[in-house]
Amino acid sequence: MDNKIVLEMKGIEKQFAGVYALKDVQFSLREGEVHALLGENGAGKSTLIKVLGGIYRADSGQIRINGNEIKIDGVKDAQEKGISIIHQEIVLVPHISVAENIFLGREPVNKIGLKDCKKMNEEAKKMVVSLGLDIDVTREVFYLTIAQQQMVEIIKAVSFNSKIIIMDEPTSSLAEREVEHLFEIIRKLKKQGVSIVYISHKLNELVAITDRITVMRDGKYIDTKVTSETTVNELIGLMVGRELTEYYTRTKHSIGDIAFEVRNLNKKGTFKNVSFHIRKGEIIGFAGLVGAGRSEIMKAVFGVDKLGSGEIYLDGKLLHLKNVKDAIDHGIALIPEDRKKEGLILKNSVAFNITLTIQDKYKKGIIENKHVRNEIINKYINAFSIKTPAIEQLTHNLSGGNQQKVVLAKWLATDPKVLILDEPTRGVDVGAKAEIYSIIDDLAEKGMAVIVISSELPEIINMCDRIYVVAQGKISGELSRDEFLQERIMYYATGGE
């Protein structure tokens, strides 16, 4: 591809509190090109595109658009220069409609200067339809699934008619079918000459959709490869600076008695007659399409949502969970899929978040044993290789993948008997994924009952002893290890179509 270069970044540097997040980074983008940024959690990908999108000002370096050196002065300025970002963390306003979110700050007005809701909804509807999507534009964003919210972000970015669209992990909450849809949209945009910066930890996606891949490590530029001339192994090598020998870890160990059992769980309109069990030391997968009801089932089990009817047994004893605190006290932990909404308090520190649910381990009344506290925190920071300059760093300042690791640490610190993980490796780099798999395996070996909800079938197939498949709020299939086949899981996931 020899299209003209539309964007060039050179010598970009950015420090936060004296620590380099970017050091002498370069990047270029051609017209109609999809160019990936690849690197471990904390490598500097989001920081680089935030410089481009006007969120951060670089300490030094040059940015050229169509050959002319420019300064980017804020988000609005970036948008006016034809650059828009779809962020890693969804930044929509929850309690206004889809259409209002798309047109926020530039709502169409009628003849007397008032907001023209009818026109706004019509325009938004047109965009939704033109991208082949099915979303009610008058609905409050709050009520959409994460996948739908991500689609709204995409519609919004496209609606600015930008020449450069940056997508920071756009598929992290999308199911396979939706990813395919996004790729269709990307191909359409390419044809229109739009250039796309694409960030993802999913290497198969990069191979499928990108023209070139730039690898970053520790805030530095490493190399740029033409996608068709490189391999996944070469990319991993560039990314982590070493070979990754083991990806999935599953050690053989014995499986004990039933640890946890759910019988005939019902919640009107959400799920129906759900029964499952898990033994000590077992890893159970919950597969299904996005929206099948897996998260809802687990939230009900964990006491977040009220149950209609059903019974929950722990170690053979019937539980009457009143709320989340009750569930935690009984030794159940749920690591939610949406870390921003349910998992973390971003304006607080890493240390605060990790210890939030385990204060009685180092506190007696108001007396706190700082030493014990810090020991616990450091143990998890090391175990998960959480990249943070200090334990008191605000979680908000961590990279997306490192935030995910803090959520994991926070719940593991409770030492649960039953651990429920909802999309545990979303947004996590390959190296850290391997670490998480190894930790899960370790916990199971120690006798913990682990439930994994995941949309990544290879993850479930390689890590689990048994799989339940959920379709439309019902358990549609149960598979033992010798029956694991991608096609078979998909068969049940689509309700046996």
Determine phi and psi for 286, rounding to 5 degrees: -115, 110
How do beta strands 195-199 and 164-168 pair? parallel
Quick one: what does residue 173 bind among Mg ion, ligand ATP, none, with the CB cut-off 5 to 8 Å set by partner type? none
Considering only 288, 310, 343, 400, the residue that binds ligand ATP (CB under 6 A) is 400
Asked whether 408 and 377 are in contact (CB, 8 A), the reply is no
Token pair for 356 = 């939030």
Q: Does 82 bind ligand ATP (CB under 6 A)?
A: no
Q: Does 149 bind ligand ATP (CB under 6 A)?
A: no
Nearest to 389 by CA among 9, 5, 17: 17
Task: State in angstroms the smallest separation of the CB of 7 from ligand ATP.
Answer: 18
Task: State in angstroms the smallest separation of the CB of 171 from ligand ATP.
Answer: 13
Q: Does 401 bind ligand ATP (CB under 6 A)?
A: yes
Footprint on this chain of Mg ion (rule: CB under 5 A): 46, 88, 399-400
Q: Does 450 bind ligand ATP (CB under 6 A)?
A: no
Task: State in angstroms the smallest separation of the CB of 18 from ligand ATP.
Answer: 10
Q: Does 84 bind ligand ATP (CB under 6 A)?
A: no
Q: Which secondary-structure segment (H or E) carries 457?
A: helix 457-463
Considering only 39, 285, 303, 343, the residue that binds ligand ATP (CB under 6 A) is 39
Quick one: what does residue 331 bind among Mg ion, ligand ATP, none, with the CB cut-off 5 to 8 Å set by partner type? none
Quick one: what does residue 39 bind among Mg ion, ligand ATP, none, with the CB cut-off 5 to 8 Å set by partner type? ligand ATP
**What contacts 130, CB < 8 A, 6 or more positions away?**
none
d(CA 463, CA 457) in angstroms, rounded, equals 10
Task: State in angstroms the smallest separation of the CB of 349 from ligand ATP.
Answer: 12
Strand order in the sheet with 332-335: 332-335, 418-422, 449-453, 283-288, 466-471, 474-480
How do beta strands 83-86 and 164-168 pair? parallel
Q: Does 46 bind ligand ATP (CB under 6 A)?
A: yes
Closest residue to Mg ion using C-beta atoms: 46
Q: Three-state SS for 297?
A: helix
Quick one: what does residue 402 bind among Mg ion, ligand ATP, none, with the CB cut-off 5 to 8 Å set by partner type? ligand ATP
**What contacts 218, CB < 8 A, 6 or more positions away?**
43, 44
Cβ proximity to ligand ATP, 209 vs 449, nearer residue: 209
| 92-97-101-107 Cα dihedral, nearest 10 degrees | -160
According to DSSP, the residues that pair with 15 across neighbouring strands are 20
Considering only 156, 212, 387, 410, the residue that binds ligand ATP (CB under 6 A) is 387
Q: On the CB side of 245, how many CA atoms lie within 13 Å of its CA?
A: 0
Task: State in angstroms the smallest separation of the CB of 471 from ligand ATP.
Answer: 32
Asked whether 452 and 419 are in contact (CB, 8 A), the reply is no
Cβ proximity to ligand ATP, 35 vs 299, nearer residue: 35
Q: Which stretch binds ligand ATP (CB under 6 A): 43-51, 135-143, 295-303, 355-363?
A: 43-51
Nearest to 236 by CA among 433, 456, 40: 40
Task: State in angstroms the smallest separation of the CB of 214 from ligand ATP.
Answer: 12
Task: State in angstroms the smallest separation of the CB of 39 from ligand ATP.
Answer: 5
d(CA 262, CA 311) in angstroms, rounded, equals 6
Quick one: what does residue 357 bind among Mg ion, ligand ATP, none, with the CB cut-off 5 to 8 Å set by partner type? none
Quick one: what does residue 82 bind among Mg ion, ligand ATP, none, with the CB cut-off 5 to 8 Å set by partner type? none
Q: Does 47 bind ligand ATP (CB under 6 A)?
A: yes
Distances 397 to 169, 348, 389, 392 between C-alpha atoms, Å: 17, 10, 10, 11
Asked whether 116 and 108 are in contact (CB, 8 A), the reply is yes
Task: State in angstroms the smallest separation of the CB of 152 from ligand ATP.
Answer: 21
Task: State in angstroms the smallest separation of the CB of 218 from ligand ATP.
Answer: 9
**What contacts 378, CB < 8 A, 6 or more positions away?**
391
Cβ proximity to ligand ATP, 310 vs 431, nearer residue: 431
**Cβ-based neighbour number of residue 473 at 10 Å:** 21
d(CA 256, CA 277) in angstroms, rounded, equals 12
Q: Does 42 bind ligand ATP (CB under 6 A)?
A: yes
Quick one: what does residue 314 bind among Mg ion, ligand ATP, none, with the CB cut-off 5 to 8 Å set by partner type? none
**What contacts 453, CB < 8 A, 6 or more positions away?**
285, 286, 294, 295, 298, 337, 420, 421, 422, 423
Task: State in angstroms the smallest separation of the CB of 388 from ligand ATP.
Answer: 6
| Chain centroid to CA 495 | 26
Considering only 29, 38, 65, 398, the residue that binds ligand ATP (CB under 6 A) is 398
Token pair for 374 = 């810090």
Q: Which stretch binds ligand ATP (CB under 6 A): 34-42, 299-307, 324-332, 346-354?
A: 34-42
Quick one: what does residue 410 bind among ligand ATP, Mg ion, none, with the CB cut-off 5 to 8 Å set by partner type? none
Quick one: what does residue 44 bind among ligand ATP, Mg ion, none, with the CB cut-off 5 to 8 Å set by partner type? ligand ATP
Cβ proximity to Mg ion, 49 vs 92, nearer residue: 49
Q: Does 402 bind ligand ATP (CB under 6 A)?
A: yes
Binding site for ligand ATP (CB under 6 A): 16, 21, 39, 41-47, 88, 387, 397-402, 429
